[in-house]
Each structure stands twice: as structure tokens, then as C-alpha cells.
Structure 1
Amino acid sequence: MPSPFDSEKLQDSARVLSSPAKRLLLMFPDLEWDLKRAGYEMGAVEYMGVVLFITIAAFGITTSVMAIPMFIAQTEVDPYITAGIPIIVTLFAFFYFLFMPRLTVMREGRLIDKDLEYMLKDMQIQLTAGVPLFNILANIAAGGYGACSKWVGDMVQEVESGGSMRDVLNNYGMLSPSEHMRRALWQIANAMQTGSDIKTALVALSNDIRQEKENKIKMYGQELSLWGLVYMITVIVAPSMGVTLLVVLSSFIGGAMINMDLFWGVLGGVIVFQLVFISIIRSKRPDIG
């Protein structure tokens, strides 16, 4: 997959930062491997240089956006805010772009795992029918299995270009962002080398994937019970009992504690919590295809 930073102009601009990029790269030795697994067609030094260039640009732009309006309006602003916001934005930009290849690998791994079980079952059926392995991979590439088909399609192109089937399986297994896909490719390569039955290995792997999905569903159901209790306490019990308690207490001090701002504040807090709660539940939901 091409990198979003493959622009030649961007890389040329960042080339002046190669020296600090090399020194900084010592702190992140896994970046080269993450770039390979993510399919980025650039080296670690070039990528780190681009990250540094974007970080410096983010700092300059944020500082300008903060300083120019203050200069025009001739207003005084807290220096901690003036310096803090550009620093926070700069740090966020640096770490976000630095770990973007790893995030890409994780996202690609989830997409592969989503359809991998169905792909393996299709392979089992074709193996039972006596279809040759290369034809099976070609059928999978055109079979509409999402990221799995794309990954297998790249393997088919490598083999058609003259690569050894076993070497291609081993290489793509090493680069695979999915642990299950890695095991599947390596088991197929192993079976080819030893002459054992490929179908048996795929059946065992399919069962493992199915069992893992069932375990994820059970764990998610158990978590939902706890989150349901948290939701009920925070959204239903706490606001109603809290407001009632404040009304009772305010009767002893002349009602100074109760006003419309309090009720609007409680309503706003409940709405914000529900939005955050929905986001958390969605993020924890297992993507099992």
C-alpha cells in the first residue's frame, strides 16, 4: 500500500532533516519493520524525516494561528496558553504520524481476520474437490473476501512473476498484519515442504478462529453487564438522587444552591456521558464478521 507521504516534494523538503532523523530513529527501532508490514514504499530514515518536517510545520502553523489574531487585536493572553497549545498540537502530530504505520497494520489485521474464517473454509472445499493450490489462491483473490482477497491477490501476482510458491507463502506470512493469516500461510508452506495434508491444517486453524470469536462474544456479553450497571448508576440514579438531595439541602440555606444553570449542567453532563458511553461500547464490540 502506498504511503500517504509518497509525494516527492514532501520527501525532498524533509531530506534536510535526515541527520536528526537517523539519531531519533535509534529510539524507535521497530519503525522499519512497521513500514514494511504496512506496505509503505519508503525507508525508516525518509519516513522519520517526513514526520519531523510535518511536526515542525504543525508547530509553525499553530503558533501563527495563535499569535496573529493576538497581534492584530493587541490583546494580552496567558503565556501558558500561548505556548501550551502549540506544544500539545506538535506532540500530538509527532506521535500520531510516527505510529501511523503501526495503526495501519492493526487496522489491516482486523480487516483480514474479519473474513479469514470464510476464506479458509472456501479453501477446504476446493482442496476436497482436488483444485490445485495456485488455482485456489487465484479463486480466493477474485472471491470477494475483502482484505483477504487483496492480500492473496498480491501473492498470486508474485507467483505469476516467477516467485516460488513456498517462498511467497513464507514471505507474506512474515509480513502479514494478521496472526491468524500468518499461521495459515506458514502451515500451508510447511505442508508443501513436508508433503502433509494441507486441508487438515486449515481445518484446525478454522476451528481455532471460530473458538476465539465465540470467546470474544462471551467476554463482550460479560462486559456489557458491568457497563449496563455503570450506565444505570451514572445516567439514571446519580442525576435523580443528586438533584433531589440538592433540593433538600437548599431548603435549609434559602434555595441558593438551586437554579436553572444547575439543571442545564446536569442535562449537559448526562448527554456528554451518553455520547462517550456509546463510543466506548462501539469500540469494545468484537468485529467478528
Structure 2
Amino acid sequence: MLSIGTLILLFFIFEIMRISLSYFFLLLPLFVVGYFLFLLQTPKGIISKRKRELDQEVLFAGRFLLVKVNSGRPLLNALIEGSQSYGVSSKYFKEIVEDINLGTPIEEALDNAVKYSPSDKFRRILFQINTALKVGIDVSIPLTNVIEEITNEQLTEIQRYGKKLNSLALFYMLIAIVLPSIGMAIFVVVGGLLGLPIERNLFLVVIGVLVLIQLVFISIFKTTRLSVNL
């Protein structure tokens, strides 16, 4: 999407600046290749999105199972009830339950879920449950421990994200606000003193570049957004 937007913006810049469109068509293959590479990365983007969504609910899913197990519910019943709840985690619980209903042993079904889960934290919860089943100990003990570990990790991630967000905000203020404002002010003053012609097309190009910078920073902030829900 960003490649297409850049392509359209470049086309209008060429039109405004009255630059020959032959240069535009020379650059067109580069944007086509860039868009093709973007499409190749789409599956990874989908997996990454699912990972973020599942990471937001991983503690809720773990605590849900822990409450059910501590209340005396069998693990299979807890998984069934989890598959009937709301949220992204219910879809993964539903896949486990469907696998078990097809005749797969619960340990093997959990192994498959651990293997194909996009979230490392959710994978750890399922792994601890499966290990407890294989060893024959109370599921609630390792489940409680792994939930506490994930909670502490997410608290640390929040602290790191706060520092990273401050740096990004400072960089955004510098690149997208301070430098363009000072640069345009100096250019207008110097241009007025030297009698340089300042055309409207130049301001349109500057506005287009600023819009592109804003879109880039919006994309950066979205990709760095922390997937945590305590």
C-alpha cells in the first residue's frame, strides 16, 4: 500500500514540476518490484498480526484455564469452555478441541497446537500444560508459574516500550515538525532577500513530502505498538 501511495505521489510531483514523464516510467519498474516484494511479505505480516492479537489475550487465556482447573473442571472441559468464549484465543482452543474430537489424544493435540501457534507465550502455556499431563502432576502448578513469568516479562516489555516510544516521539518531532518548519522559514527569508522566485508548485511538493513522512511515521508507530494486556 505504501509503494502504491508513493507511486501516485511521485506521479503528481512529476506533473506539478513539469518533469518529463519518461523519467517516471523509468522508475516504474522499481516500484513494481517493490510492490511484488511487499506481496511476498504478506504471509509473514498475517502471521505477525495473529501473534500480536494472541499475545494481547495470552494472560486472559491462561488465567481462564487456571480458574477452571482450580475449580475442579477437567482440562478438556476447560478447553471446550475456552473455545466457546470470545476473543482470538478461543479460535485456537477450538482447533485443539476439534483435533481431540477427531480422535487425537489430548497430549498430541496440545503438541500440534504448540508446534503451530504463532505466539511464543501461548506456546509456553500449552507446553507447560502438556508436560504436566505427560508427567502426571497437577496442571495448575506449572500453569500458575508460567503465567507469573509471562506477567513479569510483559511488565518489563512495557518499561522498554516506554523508553522506545519517547525516542520515537523525539525523532518524529525533529524530522516531521522542527526541521521542515525551520527549513521553510529560512528558505522563505533567504529567498526574499535574494529575490529568488518562489513558485506555488514548490510548496505543493513540500506538502506532498510532509504527507509521505507522516504516513511513514504512522506505519512505524503501528508496527512498534506493544501487544500487552495485563
Q: TM-score range by the shorter chain?
A: 0.7 to 0.9
TM-score in terms of structure 1 length: 0.63
Measured after TM superposition, the shift of residue 133 of structure 1 is: 0.8
Are the aligned partners of 2:125 and 2:147 in contact in 1 as well (CA < 8 Å)?
no
Confirm whether residue 129 of structure 1 aligns to residue 71 of structure 2.
yes
Check whether the contact 1:246–1:257 (CA below 8 A) recurs between aligned residues.
no
CA offsets 1:72-120 (integer angstroms, 9 cap, x no match): xxxxx859937x6457536743x45555444333332222222111011
1:177 counterpart = 2:118 = yes
1:271 to 2:182 alignment: no
Counterpart of 1:156 in structure 2 is 97
Aligned equivalents of 1:266, 1:219: Cα separation in 2: 35
How many angstroms apart in 2 are the aligned matches of 1:221 and 1:87?
Answer: 37
CA distance change for structure 1 residues 125 and 279 in 2, over 3 Å: closer, same or farther?
A: same
Change (3 A) 1:90 1:241: closer
Q: Distance in 2 between matches of 1:256 and 1:79?
A: 27
* Aligned residue number for residue 103 of structure 1: 45
| Displacement of 1:179 | 1.2
RMSD (Å), alpha carbons = 2.9
Matching of residue 245 in structure 1 with residue 189 in structure 2: no
Asked whether the 8 Å contact 2:51–2:118 carries over to 1, the reply is yes
| Matched-pair identity in % | 29
Task: Give the deviation of 1:175 after TM superposition.
Answer: 1.8
Which runs of at least 4 in structure 1 moved beyond 6 Å after TM superposition?
Answer: none
Q: 1:196 pairs with 99, 122, 137, which one?
A: 137
Residue type matched to 2:210 in 1?
Answer: V
Structure-1 separation of matches of 2:215 and 2:24: 31
The answer for unaligned runs of 5 or more in structure 1 is 1-76
Question: Counterparts of 1:275 and 1:102 in 2: how far apart (Å)?
Answer: 21
Residue 226 of structure 2 is aligned to residue 286 of structure 1: yes
1:141 alignment partner in structure 2: 83
Matched, 1:187 2:128: yes
What is the alpha-carbon distance in structure 1 between the residues aligned to residue 192 and residue 145 of structure 2? 70
CA contact (8 A) 1:246 1:258 kept: no
Distance in 2, matches of 1:141 and 1:228, equals 40
Structure 2, unpaired ranges of 5+: 1-20
In structure 2, the CA distance between the partners of 1:158 and 1:228, relative to structure 1 (3 Å rule), is closer
CA-to-aligned-CA distance 1:246-270 (integer Å, 9 cap, x gap): 24433542x1154434444444433
- CA positional deviation for 1:277: 2.0
Give the length in aligned residue pairs: 210
| 2:108 alignment counterpart | 167
- Between the aligned partners of 1:114 and 1:224, the Cα distance in structure 2 is 19
Question: Please, which of 62, 72, 80 is the counterpart of residue 120 of structure 1?
Answer: 62
**Separation (CA, whole Å) in 1 of partners of 2:133 and 2:98:** 19
Shift of 1:142: 0.6
Quote the Cα distance in structure 2 between the aligned partners of 1:182 and 1:193: 16
Length-normalised TM-score, structure 2: 0.77
Task: Answer 1 or 2: higher relative contact order, Cα 8 Å, separation at least 6.
Answer: 2
What is the alpha-carbon distance in structure 1 between the residues aligned to residue 219 and residue 43 of structure 2?
A: 24
